[in-house]
Amino acid sequence: MSFSQYKRVLLKLSGDILKGNEKSGIDFNLVGRIAEEIKRVSSSGIEVCIVVGGGNLFRGSEAEKIGYDRIIADNMGMLSTVINAMAIQNALENTGIQSRVMSAIGIQELVEPFIRRRAIRHLEKKRVVVFAAGTGNPYFTTDTAAALRATQVSADIILKGTKVDGVYDRDPKLDTEAIRFGEIDYMKVISQGLKVMDLTAITFCQDNKIPICVFDLTEEGNLWRVISGEKIGTMVKEIQE
């Protein structure tokens, strides 16, 4: 898709991105810089929604390994995404962009509940909507939440901001000869076990024909480059052989 073809995009932010170079927590300077990039996109007229993870604050899968009940651990992880979402909202509003946090679990005193029609209305009013608490259910990742929300609000694409510049055939940190894909079909991602999103999310995107662009969000200006149609990162989509 070219720049003019995007009407509504969903940006997937992992908790890992938000901690910057720290071991845990929130790098508020980095969140502020990302908010400025989102402002540029939103100010251009493109509707932006965000799904945020919570691994920088609490990772349910890790807690389970040391004996936490899986459901309790996942619930704690969902709460951590709400904290991240509120941080992003504050950073966005510091730039002058109106935003709303919508949670899949009820915390009405702090954020709005997720209601699909209300979310779409916020987007139509050019408010940035931050979706928190994943799907609201244990056992489902925020990748799956991103695929679900993108479908529910009819987003044109999922932009997955990461710390690497795309999808490789093997881990580029371990193998300097790893090859980066410019584009790749959903089925090849699944068959080769590539770590783009979890299997449920990839399958959901394939079924609903939602392309995914995986790119390096740590490099300043990359979000705009992706929106503008520059060939950076890796595009995951249906490819006709």
Task: Encode the chain (241 residues) as per-residue pLDDT tens digits.
Answer: 444 578 999 999 999 999 988 888 999 999 999 999 999 999 999 999 999 999 999 887 778 788 899 999 999 999 999 999 999 999 999 999 999 999 999 999 999 999 999 999 999 999 999 999 999 999 999 999 999 999 999 999 999 999 989 999 988 888 888 999 999 999 999 999 998 899 999 999 999 999 999 999 999 999 999 999 899 999 999 987 6
In the sheet with 8-13, reading across from the earlier edge strand, the strands are 112-113, 99-103, 128-132, 47-52, 8-13, 157-162, 212-216, 234-237, 183-185
Structure tokens given for 13 = 């932010």
What pLDDT is stored for residue 23 in this prediction? 87
- Max Cα distance, the chain (Å): 51
- The predicted model scores a pTM of 0.93
Structure tokens given for 32 = 């502020």
Would you kindly state where each structural domain of the chain is located, as residue ranges? 3-237
Structure tokens given for 136 = 């609201």
What pLDDT is stored for residue 32 in this prediction? 97
What pLDDT is stored for residue 241 in this prediction? 65
Q: Which CATH class is domain 3-237?
A: alpha beta
CA–CA gap between residue 14 and residue 52 (Å, rounded): 6
